[in-house]
Amino acid sequence: MISLIIIFLGAILLLFLGLNKSEKGSRFGSLLILSIAFSTTILEIVSIIKKLDLGKLGQQYQSFISDGSVSSMIFFSNASLLISAVLIFGTFLVLLLMPAEDRLGADLPAIVLFSLCGALILTAYTHLLMLFLGIEIMSIPLYVLAGSRKNDLRSNEAALKYFLMGAFSTAIFLLGCVLVYASSEGYLNLYEIRNASGNSLLIDHVMGNKLKIAGYLLLCSAMLFKAGAVPFHFWAPDVYQGSPNRGTLFMSTVPKVASIFAMLNLFVVFFGANQNSIFWLIVISSGASILLGNIAALRQTDAKRMLAYSSIAHSGYMLFAVVGNKYDSGFIALFIYAIAYILSASILFFVLDKLKNSDGTTSIEAFSKISKNNSEIVFAVVIALLSMAGIPITAGFIGKYSLFNTISSSHIFLLIVALVGSAIGIAYYFGIFKAMFYGNKISSQGEGSIRFSGAERVVLLLISLTILALGIIPNLLTGFLI
Amino acid sequence: MELLLLPLLTGILICLWKNPIYKYLALGSAAVCLAITAGMIPQIMSGETIININLKWFSTIKFAMQMDGLSLMLCLLSQIVILGLFLFYFNQDHKNNNILWGLALLMQVGLNGVFMARDAMMFYIFWEVTLIPIYFIVLKWGEGENIAYVSNRFFIFTFIGSLFMLASILYLASKSSYSFLYTDLVAVSLTEKESIWVALGLLLGFGVKIPIFPLHTWQASTYTQAPNFGSILLSAIMLKMGLYGLLKWLLPLVPESFFVLQPYFLVLCSVGVLYGAYLAFTHTDLKKIIAYSSLSHVNMIALAIFTQSSIAAKGAGLQMFAHGINIMALFWIVQIIEHSAQTRNIFALGGIATQAKKLAVVFMVVMLASIAVPLTNGFPGEFLMLKGIFDKNAIIAVLVGLSVIFSAVYMLRAYQHTMFGTASGGIYLFQDVKIIQMLAFAICIVLILWAGIQPQALLDIFEKTVIQILNTVEETRGIVS
pLDDT at A408: 81
Sequential DSSP letters for B37-79: HHHTHHHHHTT----EEEEEEETTEEEEEE--HHHHHHHHHHH
Measure in Å the smallest separation between the Cα of B80 and chain A Cα atoms.
26
**Neighbour tally for A455: CB within 10 Å:** 8
Measure in Å the smallest separation between the Cα of B312 and chain A Cα atoms.
34
> What is the CB-side half-sphere exposure of residue A277 using CA atoms within 13 A?
11
Please say if the pLDDT value at position B95 is more than 50: yes
pLDDT at B46: 81
* Pairwise CA distance, residues B286 & B432, whole Å: 18
Measure in Å the smallest separation between the Cα of B297 and chain A Cα atoms.
29
* Pairwise CA distance, residues B298 & B275, whole Å: 12
CB neighbours of B266 closer than 8 A, spacing ≥ 6?
Answer: B303, B306, B307, B392, B393, B396
Search chain B and give the residue with CA nearest A442.
Answer: B145
The conformation of residue A363, written as its DSSP 8-state character, comes to B
**In contact, A96 and A31? CB cutoff 8 Å:** yes
**B102-143 pLDDT, tens digit each:** 999 999 999 999 999 999 999 999 999 999 999 989 988 887
Say whether B139 and A427 touch across the interface (CB within 8 A). no
pLDDT at A133: 93
pLDDT at A445: 46
* Pairwise CA distance, residues B74 & B68, whole Å: 10
Helices A303-318 and A395-407, interaxial angle, to 10°?
Answer: 40
Give mean pLDDT, residues B95-100. Answer: 86
CB neighbours of A27 closer than 8 A, spacing ≥ 6?
Answer: A95, A100, A109
* Pairwise CA distance, residues A436 & B162, whole Å: 25
The ipTM is: 0.88
Say whether A408 and B140 touch across the interface (CB within 8 A). no
The conformation of residue B373, written as its DSSP 8-state character, comes to -
Say whether B139 and A437 touch across the interface (CB within 8 A). yes
Chain A CB contacts of B148 below 8 Å: 434, 437-438
Chain A CB contacts of B56 below 8 Å: 475
Give chain B's length.
481
The verdict on whether omega for the bond into residue B211 sits within 30 degrees of 0, i.e. cis, is yes
* Pairwise CA distance, residues B433 & B340, whole Å: 11
pTM of the model: 0.91
Q: Name residue B307's beta-bridge partners.
A: none
Sequential DSSP letters for A60-92: HHHHHHHHT-TT-SB---HHHHHHHHHHHHHHH
Measure in Å the smallest separation between the Cα of A428 and chain B Cα atoms.
10
* Pairwise CA distance, residues B476 & B112, whole Å: 28
CB neighbours of A70 closer than 8 A, spacing ≥ 6?
Answer: A64, A189, A191, A192
Across A342-356, b (16+ Cβ under 10 Å) vs e yields: bbbbbbbbbbbbbbb
Across B448-463, b (16+ Cβ under 10 Å) vs e yields: beebbeebeebbebbb
The verdict on whether omega for the bond into residue A231 sits within 30 degrees of 0, i.e. cis, is yes
Which of A415, A420, A474 is the closest to B170 by Cβ? A415
Chain A CB contacts of B163 below 8 Å: 419-420, 422-423
First to last CA, chain B: 40
CB pairs under 8 A between A and B: 68
Using alpha carbons, select from A342, A153, A117, A380 the residue that is nearest to residue A252: A342
Say whether B156 and A430 touch across the interface (CB within 8 A). yes
Type of residue numbered A25: G
Search chain B and give the residue with CA nearest A436.
Answer: B140
Say whether A419 and B147 touch across the interface (CB within 8 A). no
Say whether B124 and A392 touch across the interface (CB within 8 A). yes
Which of B147, B164, B174 is the closest to A408 by Cβ? B174
Best A385, A397, A429, A437 residue to mutate vs chain B (most B CBs within 10 Å)? A437
**Neighbour tally for A475: CB within 10 Å:** 15
pLDDT confidence bin for B352, thresholds 50/70/90: confident
Which of B132, B152, B170 is the closest to A434 by Cβ? B152
Report in angstroms the alpha-carbon separations of A97 from A31, A89, A110, B308. 11, 12, 16, 58
Search chain B and give the residue with CA nearest A329.
Answer: B59
| CB contact B284 to A (< 8 Å) | no
**How far out from the chain centre does Cα B110 lie?**
14
| CB contact B132 to A (< 8 Å) | yes
Q: Name residue B181's beta-bridge partners.
A: B119
**B369-422 pLDDT, tens digit each:** 998 888 888 899 999 999 999 988 889 999 988 888 889 999 998 888 888 877
Say whether B167 and A416 touch across the interface (CB within 8 A). yes
Chain A CB contacts of B167 below 8 Å: 415-416, 419
With 0-12 / 13-18 / 19 or more C-beta atoms within 10 angstroms meaning exposed / middle / buried, residue A31 is middle
Give mean pLDDT, residues B330-349. Answer: 85
Type of residue numbered B474: E
pLDDT at A444: 47
Measure in Å the smallest separation between the Cα of A479 and chain B Cα atoms.
8
Say whether A405 and B170 touch across the interface (CB within 8 A). yes
Say whether B139 and A438 touch across the interface (CB within 8 A). yes
Say whether B170 and A408 touch across the interface (CB within 8 A). yes
Chain A CB contacts of B152 below 8 Å: 427, 430-431, 433-434
Please say if the pLDDT value at position B27 is more than 50: yes
* Pairwise CA distance, residues A30 & A328, whole Å: 33
Using alpha carbons, select from A94, A100, A97, A148 the residue that is nearest to residue A116: A94
Chain B CB contacts of A397 below 8 Å: 125
Report in angstroms the alpha-carbon separations of B1 from B8, B32, B61, B468. 11, 13, 18, 24
> What is the CB-side half-sphere exposure of residue B473 using CA atoms within 13 A?
26
Per-residue confidence in pLDDT tens, chain A, 482 aa? 788 888 888 888 888 876 655 666 677 777 787 778 777 777 777 777 666 666 666 666 666 665 655 567 888 888 888 899 899 999 988 888 876 555 566 677 888 889 999 999 999 888 888 999 999 999 999 998 888 888 888 888 999 999 999 999 999 999 999 988 888 777 788 877 777 655 555 566 777 778 888 888 899 999 999 998 888 888 888 899 888 888 889 999 999 999 999 999 888 877 765 556 778 888 999 999 999 999 999 888 888 899 999 999 999 999 999 888 888 888 889 999 999 999 999 999 998 888 887 777 788 888 887 777 778 888 899 999 999 998 888 999 999 998 998 888 788 889 889 988 998 888 888 888 888 877 655 554 445 567 788 888 899 999 999 999 998 888 877 766 65
Chain B CB contacts of A474 below 8 Å: 57-58
The conformation of residue B144, written as its DSSP 8-state character, comes to S
Search chain B and give the residue with CA nearest A54.
Answer: B59
pLDDT at B97: 85
Task: Return the minimum-mean-pLDDT range out of A16-25, A369-378, B240-249, B358-367.
Answer: A16-25
* Pairwise CA distance, residues B70 & B75, whole Å: 9
| CB contact B12 to A (< 8 Å) | no
Using alpha carbons, select from B243, B167, B157 the residue that is nearest to residue B208: B157
- Percent of chain A with pLDDT strictly greater than 90: 29
Chain A residues contacting B via beta carbons under 8 Å: 386, 391-393, 397-398, 401-402, 404-405, 408-409, 412, 415-416, 419-420, 422-423, 426-427, 430-431, 433-434, 437-438, 474-475, 478
Q: Work out whether the CA dihedral A327, A333, A339, A343 comes out positive or negative.
A: negative
Measure in Å the smallest separation between the Cα of A437 and chain B Cα atoms.
6
Please say if the pLDDT value at position B21 is more than 80: yes
**In contact, A406 and A321? CB cutoff 8 Å:** yes
Best A54, A407, A419 residue to mutate vs chain B (most B CBs within 10 Å)? A419
Measure in Å the smallest separation between the Cα of B280 and chain A Cα atoms.
30
Say whether A419 and B163 touch across the interface (CB within 8 A). yes
**In contact, A314 and A293? CB cutoff 8 Å:** yes
CB neighbours of A188 closer than 8 A, spacing ≥ 6?
Answer: A127, A128, A129, A177, A181
